[in-house]
Structures are given as C-alpha cells and as structure tokens.
Structure 1
C-alpha cells in the first residue's frame, strides 16, 4: 500500500481513540449534569471508600487507577469538603488511612445512585448484553 492509499484508508471516525473520546464526552456531560458537586476522580475515591471502607492513601490510589500525587490532591480536596478524613495508620505510622466522614458516607450513597443513572443513560442505546460485552472489551484494553 502506498502513502496515498494509506491516507485514503484512514478514517478518523473509525478509529478507537476517536470513538472512545466521543463516548467519554457524552458520559462526562451526563455525569456533570447529575453530579455537579463532584468530579469523576473525586467520585471514584468516594465510591471506592464506600465499597471498601478505610484504605491507606497508597492502596486507595491504586484501587482507583491514580498515581500518588493525583490521589493526594483529590483526597485533600475531598477533605476540605468534609467528605473524607485521614489519620495515621495504627500499624505503620508512615501510612495515612483515608475514610469517609458521616457527611461523606451520605454524599457517596447519593452519588452512587446518581452514577447508576448516568451509566444507564450512557448506555441507553445498547442492549444489556451489548453493555456487558462493551465493559468486558474495555476491560481488556
């Protein structure tokens, strides 16, 4: 295939990155409409703490797929909102344990309910089987 043929064979709208970006834009628009008080990264921290309970800041970051610096910044912002608290680990004083406050527990509960609606709206044009398949395929990336 020569360079001219390669250029004509490439269609932006058929590229995975392009499609992922459009899907993400749609999802973020819905997320923002339903949860204006929290960012997706803040929500991820709150949801993980709601599911797992108290976690070290390091483990929390790994469980939500964030690097240490990003996790610290997100935790600091959530602490300033009164939704999380931190205390030194009882077993390793170098470690900070992060947990939800009572206010954060209630906010997370409400946000998780909203997130379920966002997920449903994001995938409303897919059948349940297609949604399951999409999630499985994305998990492989």
Structure 2
C-alpha cells in the first residue's frame, strides 16, 4: 500500500464523502438557523410532528430514523422549550405528541433558513444536477434502509 494515495484509499470513497457531506450539512444548517437554538434532529422531529399530529414517540422515531432513547431525549428537550406537548393516548402508556403554537411558529420562522441551508449544501451543482443528485441519494437510502440501525418507516402506513 506504499504507493497508494489518500485519494485512492479515502477521498473518493462514498462512506467518507457521505460523512463529510453530513458534517458540512450540519454546519450549514446551524449557521443558517443559529438564532433559533434548534438542532437538525429537533427540527426534523418538529417537522414530523407537524406532518403527523398526535404521533406517538415510537412512530416519530421511525419516521425520522432515530432510536427510542435518542428520540426520548429530543422530545424532552422540545417539551422543556415549550415547543411540543404530550398527551395520553387510548393506551395510558402511549404519549401522543403535538406542536404547541410556539412550536408551529418556530417551524414557520426556521423554514427560510433551512431552505438556504439546503441550497448551500448543494452549492456547485446545476439545477439539473441537484435534482439528479437528490434522486440518486433517495435511491441509495431506500435500497439500504432495512440494514440501517433504525430503518425509516412512514407513519402513514402504521397509523
């Protein structure tokens, strides 16, 4: 391996490039939404709760690809910020999640910044390349969803 360059070993590998793009994506998201003190995971949870009012925590975790323990902490932080409220479902153990008016307003206020972040992440691509890249990412993610530690599943199928 003496004559193999770092480009051959690392810099042109999908795993490395995906990790770097995720690092860049988080940085850009946080820059564009800094005034709201909300992480990408919190934003995703809020967006899913908005899309599926009264979703339970397990289905929320499945909808955005996070394990139960992680989503539990996310929901606790969102509730502490007054952005989400929990109510008891028909099964007393099930907690249903909904946005508070403050949570809905925050999503609305953050949206322009999240759109700017998405545009910045894809900087360097033409509009046609952006559409192709997104479709390709979707195909790769869908093809590998089931091997993920937490496969994503749409609440629409389950609720």
Structure 2 length-normalised TM: 0.78
Q: Which has the higher contact order (CA 8 A, sep 6+)?
A: 2
Q: Does 1:8 align with 2:1?
A: no
Distance 2:54 2:117 in 1: 26
Where does structure 2 lack aligned partners over 5 or more consecutive residues?
A: 142-159
Quick one: distance in 2 between partners of 1:11 and 1:54? 47
- Give the CA RMSD over aligned residues: 1.7
Counterpart in the other structure of 1:69: 69
> 1:88 corresponds to which residue?
88
Distance in structure 2 (CA, Å) of the matches to 1:124 and 1:102: 34
Structure of higher CA gyration radius: 1
Query: How many equivalent pairs are there?
Result: 136
The correspondence of residues 112-123 of structure 1 with structure 2, limited to 5 A, is: 112-123=111-122
Determine whether 1:110 maps to 2:109. Answer: yes
List structure 1 segments (4+ residues) > 3 angstroms apart after TM superposition.
none
- After superposition, give the CA deviation of every residue in 1:13-55 in whole Å (9 maximum; x if it has no partner): 1111221122222211111111221111111101111222221
Distance 2:57 2:66 in 1: 11
Unaligned 5+ runs, structure 1: none
Residue in 1 aligned with 2:99? 100
